[in-house]
Structure 1
Amino acid sequence: MTATDRSIELTRAAAQAAADKLAHDIIAYDVSDVLSITDTFLVASAPNDRQVRAIVDAIEEKLLKELDVKPVRREGEREGRWVLLDYVDIVVHVQHAEERVFYALERLWKDCPEVPLPEDAVATRGKGREQAAAEEAARENGAQS
């Protein structure tokens, strides 16, 4: 079984909304062969809690406006470190860059096929980890001063 056309459409729209709000490391997996609860996982990250929330809001707004769909569940908003949006057909994870590195969701789903995303959403891949490493180095340098 592969992801439905509807879930691919939702995933691509959510990825575009995330990219428009400068999300990093956007990737989507077709998990329909290994999970019965959803078709795709979309994962994106941001360097701070405020941007995580902005990305989540942009995704919700775009999917509601353009595709008339609301999440059935939303978790983690208060902390702003890892927000999960469950649209049944897709599950969106927006994580703070530090959580993204720590939990490494890609490691869990690496055997699943990637869902093709809009070109500008894919162009952001890799920037999040580099930025997280730079921020960590800056914190270490600041602590040594």
Structure 2
Amino acid sequence: MKQRKNKEVSSQDLCQLVTKGMIEKKGQEIAILDLRKVKNAVADYFIICSGTSDTQIDAIADSIEHEVHKAIQENPWHKEGKTNREWILIDYVDVVVHVFKKDRRKYYDLEELWGDAELTLIEESVA
């Protein structure tokens, strides 16, 4: 079973770092899906945000990785989507981050797909 290197940092704390990275680069419609009570969930949390261009979603993904590494010296377990820059996935094992181009987010609609999860929307003005 895969595990995060830094187990001293909770998945909630990791969510805060990810969210900070999203806000830093003006990520839009930030949503945290708490999957801890969802049967057979693949992670504790999904964190989702949108960007308006491929350049912005690339910058958001880089900002997330920077914030997490700066605070807890942790790198993602896995990441994909950096090449086509329409949906970048950053997997920190118990926290999985999805950075979408707006139209791709609507198409995949992860919030609806994981409708049993507790949903928290983050105000972009939070720093």
Correspondence list, 1:97-136, <5 A: 97-115=102-120, 122-124=122-124
- Give the deviation of 1:16 after TM superposition: 1.3
Correspondence list, 1:1-145, <5 A: 6-34=10-38, 35-115=40-120, 122-124=122-124
Q: Which runs of 5+ in 2 are unaligned?
A: 1-8
State how far apart, in whole Å, the 1-side matches of 2:98 and 2:17 are.
14
State how far apart, in whole Å, the 1-side matches of 2:64 and 2:70 are.
10
Counterpart amino acid of residue 102 in structure 2: A
Query: Between Structure 1 and Structure 2, which shows a larger proportion of strand residues?
Result: 2
The match for 1:139 is none
State how far apart, in whole Å, the 2-side matches of 1:103 and 1:73 are.
20
| CA distances 1:35-88 after superposition (whole Å, capped 9, x unpaired) | 353110000110110000000000000000102211010011100000000000
Classify 1:107/1:36 alpha carbon distance in 2 versus 1 (closer, same or farther; 3 Å): closer
Higher alpha-carbon Rg: 1
State how far apart, in whole Å, the 2-side matches of 1:8 and 1:31 are.
12
Q: Under a length normalisation based on structure 2, what TM-score does the superposition of the two structures give?
A: 0.84
Structure 1 segments (4+ residues) deviating >6 Å: none
| CA distances 1:90-113 after superposition (whole Å, capped 9, x unpaired) | 000000001011111111123211
RMSD of the alignment, in Å? 1.7
Q: Is the 8 A contact 2:20 2:67 kept in 1?
A: no
Query: Between Structure 1 and Structure 2, which shows a larger proportion of helix residues?
Result: 1
Q: Under a length normalisation based on structure 1, what TM-score does the superposition of the two structures give?
A: 0.74
Aligned length: 116
Counterpart amino acid of residue 31 in structure 2: I
State how far apart, in whole Å, the 2-side matches of 1:111 and 1:16 are.
25
Q: Which runs of 5+ in 1 are unaligned?
A: 126-145
